């Protein structure tokens, strides 16, 4: 597969190798291991999308945001959900403006062709089309977030974009990217994606990080927090994730919890503080009952309840 064309020299200057990418992401307070950095590096340098899979809260979306900041290029994000269609992802016609155009033509007794109403002036661009039309100088980052929440029909709709960096608008024809976007798809693996989609992508699974790495991430996001508190919270989050929870907490909840504790002036976890601040980390009643049954002492010390 050939290297990405277009603004290649500038991209190479910004991301010359994997080690440089790790360092640059670190400066942006995004901690990426060599495996993830290698996958992102290939996505930048090759004209091929990357699929990032992993549990919710491991940093998939943040990876795309950090990469866009590093490259100083726009991030176009499409949040996927069940029932999403081309109109929300690619484009819609501005029907209100079309009706205004029709009435104006009637008032002027002017002829109005159908093609006049389906010109670019009446087009409402959505994230996919914006990414394809981005003029550069560097390719945009296009994030298809939680693609597993969309249905199979929407997956099929994305094939042309993923394979050819192009989209087809029936009234206008095929629009091809001058600078093909860096496409990042994320999935929480709530369902299996179609083989035809995964074949078009590079792939990387992001593991949930160990407590020491979680603590480091938390300290980056909440610099006022004590190092010991960040590690205690990271360890507690890891213990909670060992339970069969409906919505297991992730890195975002660890950051929220430490932020709440910092506001309360807490620098060490104790049973009373845990009982008072469950709501910062658990957002489901059944999960609260499950954790409460194990007890705050178990959460802090990790011993048997």
Q: Which helix (H) or strand (E) holds 205?
A: strand 202-205
For residues 77-90, average pLDDT: 90
Q: 185-195, pLDDT tens digit by residue?
A: 999 999 999 99
Give me the helix-helix angle, 227-241 and 251-263, nearest 10°: 140
CA distance 278 to 198: 39
Of 250, 141, 254, 143, residue with least CA distance to 206: 250
pLDDT for position 239: 94
pLDDT for position 149: 95
Whether residue 103 is contained in a domain is answered as no
- Asked whether residue 210 carries a pLDDT value surpassing 90, the answer given is yes
The reply to whether 189 and 235 lie within a common domain is no
Q: Which of the listed residues 152, 176, 205 is the one where a domain comes to its end?
A: 205
- Asked whether residue 293 carries a pLDDT value surpassing 70, the answer given is yes
Could you give the 3-state DSSP secondary structure of residue 63?
A: helix
Using pLDDT thresholds of 50, 70 and 90, give the confidence band for residue 62.
Answer: very high
Could you give the 3-state DSSP secondary structure of residue 290?
A: helix
The overall average pLDDT reported for the chain is 87
The reply to whether 278 and 148 lie within a common domain is no
Using pLDDT thresholds of 50, 70 and 90, give the confidence band for residue 246.
Answer: very high
CA distance 173 to 115: 12
Dihedral over alpha carbons 46, 51, 55, 59 (to 10 degrees): 40
Residue pair 240/248 in contact by the 8 Å Cβ criterion = yes
Give the domain extent around 167. Answer: 8-90+126-205
Using pLDDT thresholds of 50, 70 and 90, give the confidence band for residue 304.
Answer: low
For residues 148-161, average pLDDT: 89
Residue with more model confidence, 160 or 17: 17
Whether residue 160 is contained in a domain is answered as yes
Whether residue 67 is contained in a domain is answered as yes
Using pLDDT thresholds of 50, 70 and 90, give the confidence band for residue 106.
Answer: low
pLDDT for position 100: 72
For residues 153-173, average pLDDT: 84
The reply to whether 197 and 234 lie within a common domain is no
CATH number assigned to the domain comprising residue 69: 3.40.50.300
Residue pair 59/251 in contact by the 8 Å Cβ criterion = yes
The reply to whether 225 and 247 lie within a common domain is yes
Residues 6+ apart with CB under 8 A from 210: 238
pLDDT for position 183: 95
Phi, psi for 186 (deg, rounded to 5): -120, 150
- Asked whether residue 101 carries a pLDDT value surpassing 50, the answer given is yes
pLDDT for position 159: 86
CA distance 211 to 101: 60
Ranking 83-92, 105-114, 262-271 by mean pLDDT, the lowest is 105-114
Q: 274-287, pLDDT tens digit by residue?
A: 999 999 999 999 99
Q: Which of the listed residues 205, 230, 256 is the one where a domain comes to its end?
A: 205
Q: Which of the listed residues 151, 175, 205 is the one where a domain comes to its end?
A: 205
Using pLDDT thresholds of 50, 70 and 90, give the confidence band for residue 107.
Answer: low
pLDDT for position 259: 95
- Asked whether residue 184 carries a pLDDT value surpassing 90, the answer given is yes
The reply to whether 260 and 173 lie within a common domain is no
The reply to whether 151 and 284 lie within a common domain is no
Q: Quote the percentage of the chain above a pLDDT of 90.
A: 61
Structural domain count, the chain: 2
Using pLDDT thresholds of 50, 70 and 90, give the confidence band for residue 305.
Answer: very low
pLDDT for position 67: 97
């Amino acid at each position: 597969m050939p290297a990405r064309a277009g603004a290649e020299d500038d991209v190479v200057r910004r991301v010359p190798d994997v080690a440089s990418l790790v360092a640059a992401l670190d400066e942006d307070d995004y901690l990426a291991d060599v495996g993830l950095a290698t996958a992102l590096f290939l996505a930048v340098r090759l004209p091929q999308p990357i699929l990032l899979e992993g549990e919710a809260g491991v940093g998939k979306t943040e990876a795309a945001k950090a990469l866009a900041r590093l490259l100083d290029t726009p991030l176009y994000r499409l949040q996927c959900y069940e029932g999403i269609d081309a109109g929300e992802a690619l484009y819609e016609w501005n029907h209100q403006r079309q009706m205004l155009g029709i009435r104006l033509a009637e008032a002027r007794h002017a002829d109005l062709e159908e093609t006049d109403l389906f010109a670019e002036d009446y087009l409402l661009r959505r994230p996919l089309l914006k990414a394809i039309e981005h003029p550069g100088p560097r390719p945009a980052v296009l994030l298809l977030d939680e693609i597993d929440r969309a249905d199979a029909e929407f997956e099929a709709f994305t094939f042309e974009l993923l394979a050819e960096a192009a989209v087809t608008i029936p009234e206008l024809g095929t629009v091809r990217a001058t600078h093909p976007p860096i496409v990042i798809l994320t999935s929480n693996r709530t369902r299996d994606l179609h083989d035809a989609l995964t074949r078009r992508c590079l792939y990387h699974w992001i593991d949930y990080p160990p407590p020491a790495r979680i603590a480091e991430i938390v300290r980056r996001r909440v610099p006022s927090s004590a190092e010991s508190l960040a590690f205690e919270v990271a360890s507690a989050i890891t213990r909670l994730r060992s339970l069969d929870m409906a919505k297991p907490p992730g890195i975002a909840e660890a950051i929220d919890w430490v932020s709440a504790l910092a506001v309360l002036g807490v620098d060490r976890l104790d049973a009373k503080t845990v009982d008072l601040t469950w709501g910062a980390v658990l957002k489901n009643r059944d999960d609260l009952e499950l954790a409460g049954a194990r007890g705050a002492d178990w959460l802090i010390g990790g011993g048997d309840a």
